Structure 1
Amino acid sequence: MMSKSANLYVRIEPEIKEQAEKILSTLGIPASNAINIFYKQIILQRGLPFEVKIPDSTPIDISKLGAEELHAELEKGYADVKAGRIKDAKTAFADIRRDYDL
């Protein structure tokens, strides 16, 4: 593994930094490791590792759904679980740590 000696200085909105670091802390991932993972993905993907576009739809506000609509959304999620289209966070991050020797 290569020595980590390069520095990166960025300016970011304090609220964004705080929210992201709170999530990373919950996941047990230091911000520097998350940034390293992000950079490695940029290299592997030869670009940003996600689409940068205006979403086709906005997230669903479940407080505004009726019982039938909420049930339909829950069924979609259950179908994803049954079809194996999801991973729990612990497994996903274990995979990342294994793949990148973190």
Structure 2
Amino acid sequence: MANTTAVYARIDTKLKDNAESILSQLGISPSSAIQMLYSQIVLKKGIPFDLKLPSSEPLAVGAMTKKQLDKELQKGVDSINTGNVYSADEVDTILAKEFGI
């Protein structure tokens, strides 16, 4: 028998249910998911994802005020005027690297 130990954690019931529903669809048990997380912590020598506060800037155009939208649009115009432009392929590469899409 493998040398194992139990890990106990108290988490929000709804969070647990939602996560376990997704894990089930992936065919992964909660124990396997925790094992994967711990393995990645050891491999990365830390938490295997970024821990940071969400941006204080609105992420959706619909959540911006007119002033905020005008400011963001002006940044784009200024960027173009300074020659800071990207091809569609360059944008695809940047998005894939930064967001995995």
Normalised by the size of structure 1, how large is the TM-score? 0.54
Q: Distance in 2 between matches of 1:19 and 1:4?
A: 30
Structure 1 stretches of 4+ moved >4 Å? 57-61, 83-87
Q: CA deviation at 1:51?
A: 1.1
Higher gyration radius (CA): 2
Cα deviation, residue 22, structure 1: 0.4
User: Corresponding residue for 1:7?
Assistant: 6
Partners of 2:21 and 2:59 in 1: CA distance:
22
Whole-angstrom distance in 1 between the partners of 2:12 and 2:50? 22
Residue 35 of structure 1 corresponds to: 34
Task: Specify the code of the residue in structure 1 equivalent to 2:44.
Answer: Q
Distance of aligned partners of 1:59 and 1:3 in 2 relative to their CA distance in 1, 3 Å threshold: farther
CA gap of 1:29–1:4, structure 2 versus 1, over 3 A, is farther
Note the 1:2-81 alignment, pairs <5 A. 3-56=2-55, 60=60, 79=92
Cα root mean square deviation, aligned: 3.1
**Deviation of 1:17 (Å):** 0.3
Structure-1 separation of matches of 2:7 and 2:45: 20
Name stretches of at least 5 consecutive residues in structure 2 with no aligned partner.
64-87
Q: Which runs of 5+ in 1 are unaligned?
A: 66-74, 88-102
Q: Distance in 2 between matches of 1:28 and 1:20?
A: 12
SS in 2 for 1:37: helix
Q: Deviations over 1:28-82 (max 9, x none)?
A: 1111000000001111111100111112256659xx59xxxxxxxxx9xxx46xx
Cα distance in structure 2, aligned partners of 1:59 and 1:21: 28
